[in-house]
Chains A and B, each alone.
Chain A
Amino acid sequence: MDDALEEHLHITAEKGVSRDELQKLLLKAGWPAGQVSAYIQKTFKTIEKGVIIRVAGISKKFGENAVLDTVDFDINRGEIFGLIGMSGAGKTTLLNLIVGFLRPDQGDIMLVMPDGTIRSVIKNPELIKEHIGFSTQTPSFYEKLTVRENLEHFARLYHITEPDLSRRCNALIELAGLKDAKDVLAAQLSGGMQKRLDIACALIPDPSILILDEPTADLDPILRKQFWELIKQINVKGTTILLASHFLAEIELLCSRIAILQNKRIAELGTADELRNIYSKDYEIYLEIATQDYSKLLKELDKRKRLFTKATAETGELVIETPTPEQILPLISTYLEHQRGMIQSLHVARPTLGKVFEAVVKR
């Protein structure tokens, strides 16, 4: 897309361009009809589905090394959107492109305004500052300022004045659970508190979208749990959240939709169940007994191969993948009664996101 057209599109988008107008413009610019159609479909689909942000055909290279190649996805208003991928898959690059730290080589990022107009954040970087909050893996605040001073500082930079400033800061301190530490230097806060302060800082402009890049990487499980609770609270208040993390279990629990970034593109996108279904429709039965000897049970299972897809005994645990767990579980129960084996654990679950992820990566 040439600059003039892009500029024109940008202007028209700001005014709330119509589908027909955009189609005419693109055709006039000499775009192939198919490409025009695809572009319009991508662009206007967001509006139709109540999407808040659309990443449209984003590509990014560092030198000759392509990190992202025509990445497309939407984020719906009010959802928690998870982004997972291997280290180096381009998650952070993608997030940096969305928040404007990097400029894409190709493609655009569209933001759907509350009034329904679509605006390019590439062309209108000030939109990012108004509508997007960003929190990186490393907390982003001034360590030599107190909690309140940090919040007040950034609030002033967002041109929030008294009395809104105090009200907003107090509310964020309250939300982040930093009331008792409001006058403590940021450097002296614990890791969890620092993360919460960082989120509080990101929420100062009351953004429509909060982007979190590996927010819990340095936190222990308890702090991570507290943090996710905070994220849920924020989401409940109406803030859309884009989350990149490698804690897949937590992503699975927290996110309404998840995108897997692989080979420079979005390899899979959907709800946790949708992703599992892509991987496998089976359930997984996990059994652990004291003897850790599953040979006889496996022999029994071999006689009913139609009931399960796969059974493996690894690391002291037997995993049976089956579409009908209700038929397998009685077999196990009977076997255990006869063998008098002491059960350590037994549970049935859908495949974890980790397994889905592994499968996607291996694919």
Chain B
Amino acid sequence: MNDIIELVRKNLKNFIRAKSGALVVILGPLLVIFLAGLAFDNSNVYSVKIGTYRPEAEPATNILLDQLRGEFKVVEYDTKEKCVNAIKNTDINTCMLFDANFTIGVPKKNQITFYVDYSRINLVWTIMQTMTEQVGEKNLQASQNLTKIILNTMDYTQKRLKDQRAAVTKLTTQNQLMLQNNKDLIAELGDVNLGFDESGYQVNDLESSRTQVKQWMESALALSEKGLSKSTTFIAAANDLVKASGASQELKDKLTASLASTLDEIKKLKADMTELKTVTQESFKQFDNQIEAINQAITDTKTDLQQADTSRQMSLRVLEATTRLLDQSLLTTAEIQLIINDVDNKINAIEIKDPGAITQPIVTSIKPIVQEKTYLNYLFPVLIVLVIMFTALLITPTLILLDKHSPASFRSYMTPVKDSSYIAANFITAFILLMVQVIIILAIASVFFSSQVLTNIPQAIFLLVIISSLFILIGMVLGYVFNSEETATLAGVSIGALFLFISDVIIPIESMPEAFAYIASFNPYVLGSSLLRRALLFDSSLLSMYQDILIMLGYIIAAALLASGLYMMTRNYSLQQLTKKLTPVLVKMHLKKK
């Protein structure tokens, strides 16, 4: 245990006596935590700028915008394009487009489209959340109003229906009475015997008898006419012949005989006619019997009909009563109809009946200002600057310190090479290494990412050179300030982390306190990633980004001057340190004396 304590004591002494290292180790994280704490110590979205475009200034949009103005900076634009471009130029964070004739709750007129920059993912979600809250509040209010109208209508309908409940009861009673009357009428009518016994009238027999008689009569008449005609004709002819004939007697005798035969026949005919008359008489007798039977049947029917008439009279009375009830029912129904019409009008008066519009009177949609395949595409510029930043902040000091600690630096110092050449060589070496990395990343990006990301290559390369230069120069400052690789690496990581924390990678700058957000907007990492994002994702021209580029160039000049100054200031000190390192005895002696 004592050994461990002793070793720990030794370690701590070693650590504390390495002043710059101890300072960075202790102050670096403290500074990062302090600044990150300042940056993140809030939960609001302070500085979100909302751009808006609305074809007309409808009241609904005014209300919404007034509500937003309470918490955000709202900038109105003339056109949709200007509004969207303002996001690309980072003038605003979101663009809010209203439907033409924007009306809350009216489909196809109630949409608000938010255009956002998906490359700022965390801000996108913040904006979406905030706008959803803001519009959602209005949405809820509108939804409540619409529901209130429906509920009022329902209330009114209920009240009117309640008023008509007695009428409906009355109608029911009347209908019940009508039902009873109808039942009675049915029973009554059921009792009416309207049966007709067709067999009782023997109409068929009468018909056949009559037909037979008729035939007989016709036959008799025909026969009579025939007989009479023949008799008449024959007798006349015979008489004439006999009288006028010069014929022999024999002949005349024959003729007389013939006449006598004819006369016999006429006699036979007469007999037949007599027989026929008899038969006809019998038939007519039967016919009379049948008619009598029919008369009887008719009398029976008459009786029945009289009974039916009695029933009809009764039914008529019942029907009259029913008619009266129906009249009353009609009146009641008309009243109900009026109420129904009233309620119907009330319901028709509800403008918004679409369930979607009632539950969501304002429809919001979020669209990206540029369409990429994946989030990685949106993040690509930020990631590449992140890689450049950390690589430059770590590689550059390492390069410088490797050379600083190399015994060969003595030899280099002895050569007649200008200090500026060393500084430039360090810069160019780090730049080459960084560019190799960037080329690898771009090559990978060209394979995996959308072509759009790499369309603006010339501008992207220009910006990458600027961004890389700045971070390399910052790395050079670290390399010249610090004397150990570990300390410089820690300082590089601390500075990188600081840049990272005070950027919009973790939380949006817009959600930082205003003063802090203002400072963060000048963070080289924020500027660099913003420039590259605008160039790669939005095809922004260098001219449109000149302000940020000038700031970056200013940083580069300042960092270059600082790095050069530090190199000049620390060169001899570094050599002394190296001298001490190479001649440990000397150092030991000095320490003892001190």
Contact = CB atoms under 8 A, between A and B. Distances in A.
B190 interface: no
B408 interface: yes
B414 A132 contact: yes
Nearest to A207: B414
B401 to A, nearest CB: 15
A102 to B, nearest CB: 6
A92 B576 CA distance: 11
B472 to A, nearest CB: 22
Given A88-B585, A142-B408, A129 B590 contact: no
Contact of A138 (B407, B588, B593, B594): B407
A186 to B, nearest CB: 9
Interface in B571-594: 572, 575-576, 579, 582-583, 585-586, 588-590, 593-594
Nearest to A126: B416
B412 interface: yes
Given A101-B576, A142-B406, A62 B417 contact: no
A92 B586 contact: yes
Contacts of B588: 88
B593 A101 contact: no
A110 interface: no
Nearest to B589: A88
Contacts of B406: 142
Nearest to B403: A142
A157 B417 contact: yes
B415 A154 contact: yes
Contacts of A157: 412, 415-417
A333 B533 CA distance: 99
Interface in A114-163: 126, 128-130, 132-134, 136-142, 154, 157-159
B594 A96 contact: no
Interface string B406-432: 111111111111000000000000000
Contacts of B575: 96, 101-102
A56 to B, nearest CB: 21
A157 B414 CA distance: 10
Contacts of B417: 157
Contact of B411 (A92, A128, A202): A202
Contacts of A65: 590, 593-594
B412 A92 contact: no
A103 interface: yes
Interface in B551-586: 572, 575-576, 579, 582-583, 585-586
Contact of B416 (A63, A102, A136, A158): A158
Contacts of B407: 136, 138-141
Contacts of A158: 415-416
A205 B575 CA distance: 21
Given A102-B576, A141-B408, A142-B408, A133 B414 contact: yes
B594 A101 contact: no
Nearest to B579: A96
B414 A137 contact: no
A87 interface: yes
A292 interface: no
B414 to A, nearest CB: 6
B411 A154 contact: yes
Given A63-B594, A101-B413, A88 B408 contact: no
B586 A93 contact: yes
Given A65-B594, A101-B572, A136 B410 contact: yes
Nearest to B416: A129
A129 B415 contact: yes
Contacts of B409: 140
A55 interface: no
A243 interface: no
A133 B593 CA distance: 32
Interface in B392-409: 406-409
Nearest to A63: B594
A96 B417 CA distance: 19
A101 B416 contact: no
Contacts of A64: 594
Contact of B579 (A92, A103, A133, A139): A92
Interface string A42-75: 0000000000000000000011110100000000
Contacts of A259: none
A140 B583 contact: no
B581 to A, nearest CB: 9
Contacts of A67: 590
A130 B410 contact: no
Contact of B583 (A92, A103, A130): A92
A137 B578 CA distance: 12
Interface string A84-95: 000110101100
A142 B407 CA distance: 8
A90 B406 CA distance: 23
A330 B414 CA distance: 58
A193 interface: no
Contacts of B410: 101, 134, 136, 140
A136 B412 contact: no
A205 B406 CA distance: 21
A99 interface: yes
A201 interface: yes
B408 A99 contact: no
A136 B408 CA distance: 10
A138 B589 CA distance: 20
A130 B594 contact: no
Interface in A158-202: 158-159, 201-202
Nearest to A198: B411
Contact of B414 (A93, A102, A129): A129
Most chain B Cβ neighbours within 10 Å, of A126, A132, A140, A201: A140
A201 B411 contact: yes
Given A88-B586, A88-B589, A141 B576 contact: no
Contact of A62 (B408, B582, B583, B590): B590
A72 to B, nearest CB: 21
B72 to A, nearest CB: 58
Contacts of B583: 92, 137
Contacts of B582: 136-138
Contact of A103 (B412, B414, B572, B590): B572
Nearest to B591: A65
A205 B415 CA distance: 8
Contacts of B411: 134, 140-141, 154, 201-202
A26 B579 CA distance: 35
B271 to A, nearest CB: 171
A292 B235 CA distance: 226
Contacts of B576: 96, 101-102
Contacts of B579: 92, 96, 101-102
A76 B413 CA distance: 25
Nearest to A88: B589
Contacts of B572: 101-103
A63 B303 CA distance: 157
17 contacts: A65-B594, A87-B585, A88-B588, A88-B590, A92-B586, A93-B586, A96-B575, A99-B414, A133-B414, A134-B410, A136-B582, A138-B407, A138-B582, A140-B409, A157-B416, A201-B411, A202-B411
CB-based closest 6 A-B pairs:
A88-B589, A157-B415, A140-B411, A129-B416, A140-B410, A140-B407
Interface of A: 62-65, 67, 87-88, 90, 92-93, 96, 99, 101-103, 126, 128-130, 132-134, 136-142, 154, 157-159, 201-202, 205
Given A88-B590, A201-B411, 6 more contacts: A63-B590, A63-B594, A92-B583, A101-B410, A134-B414, A205-B416
